[in-house]
Amino acid sequence: MRLHAYHRSSTSYRVRIGLNLKGLDYETVPVDIVAQEQRGEAYRGKNPFAGVPALEVDGRFYAQSMPILEWLDERYPDPPFLSGDGDQRFVARELAYAIATELHGPLNSPVLQYLRDEYGQDKAGVERWYHHWLAKTLGGVEQRLADRGVGDFLFGAPGLFECVLIPQLYNARRFHFDLSDMPWMRRIESACLELPAFVRAHPDNQPDSGGGA
Ligand SMILES: N[C@@H](CCC(=O)N[C@@H](CS)C(=O)NCC(=O)O)C(=O)O
């Protein structure tokens, strides 16, 4: 397997965590999204959506991080990303997809660049935008976690939700979002960051991490 990815991309980070949790061997092929490599013809042949990541398996390319995680879980069911009863599996999907669908769009780098270029926003203005959308969705996630009274993980061991949460919190910190009133999420983050699967997936530990974004 080869993962075409960018070190700081949250969608790439999600899939790296997933591959590591499943104990799969893979090679990372860096795609420089700062240099717009994802929009070039060569990469679009691998992923027509022109975003990272793309997972290459036996000559076939899989795009879109969430279906990739679901596909990995079907093909390699042990350990499961979605465990427990139907209600628990629903909650894991509810929270993972809340982050993946509500946050990735407004916080993706071309949107932030558009705010700078077309609306003349400076760093503070972009951060205000970023914090606004984060607060809405992460606030909902935190409320769910508090209502359920979770522990180190949503359900006993890291799964789909943790694959999505940890990269989002990494980005939240990069953009100086205040997580102090979100203790339930921070507890899960601390527990995950101790685990080798998450350490190896961290942006700083990738072959292209020297470049910065
Ligand atoms: N829905 C896609 C989004 C992929 C995506 O947009 N990735 C970002 C990095 S996190 C990217 O490539 N951004 C550069 C661009 O859109 O030009 C997924 O989940 O894989």
Q: What is the pLDDT of residues 69-111, one digit of tens each?
A: 999 999 999 999 999 999 999 999 999 999 999 999 999 999 9
Report, as an integer, the average pLDDT of 22-30. Answer: 98
Beta strands in the chain (DSSP E): 2-5, 27-30, 54-57, 60-63
Question: From ligand 1's centre to the CA of 67, what distance in Å?
Answer: 13
- pLDDT score at 210: 79
In the three-class reduction of DSSP (H, G, I as helix; E, B as strand; rest coil), residue 5 is classed as strand
Rounded CA separation 37/174 (Å): 23
Q: Which residues neighbour 10 within 8 Å (Cβ) at sequence distance 6 or greater?
A: 104, 167, 168, 170, 171
Domains of the chain: 2-79+198-205 (3.40.30.10), 86-195 (1.20.1050.10)
From residue 209, alpha-carbon distances to 9, 55, 140, 195 in Å are 11, 19, 32, 20
Q: Phi-psi bin for 136: left (phi > 0), alpha (psi -120 to 50), beta?
A: alpha
Q: How far is the CA of 151 from the centre of ligand 1 (A)?
A: 31
Residue among 46, 68, 109 whose CB has most ligand 1 atoms within 8 A, to mutate: 109
- Rounded-to-integer distance, Cα 110 and Cα 56, Å: 25
Q: What is the structure's pLDDT at 213?
A: 43
Q: Ligand 1 centre from 46 Cα, in Å?
A: 14
pTM attached to this predicted model: 0.96
- Ranking 32-36, 65-69, 199-203 by mean pLDDT, the lowest is 32-36
Q: Which of 6, 11, 101 to mutate to test the pocket of ligand 1 (most atoms within 8 A of CB)?
A: 11
pLDDT at 52 over 90: yes
What is the C-alpha separation between 172 and 179, in angstroms, rounded? Answer: 8
For residue range 157-204, list pLDDT tens digits in order. 999 999 999 999 999 999 999 999 999 999 999 999 999 999 999 999
Whole-number Å distance, alpha carbon 54 to ligand 1 midpoint, is 10
pLDDT tens, 115-168? 999 999 999 999 999 999 999 999 999 999 999 999 999 999 999 999 999 999
What is the rounded distance in angstroms from the CA atom of residue 65 to the CA atom of residue 54?
Answer: 8
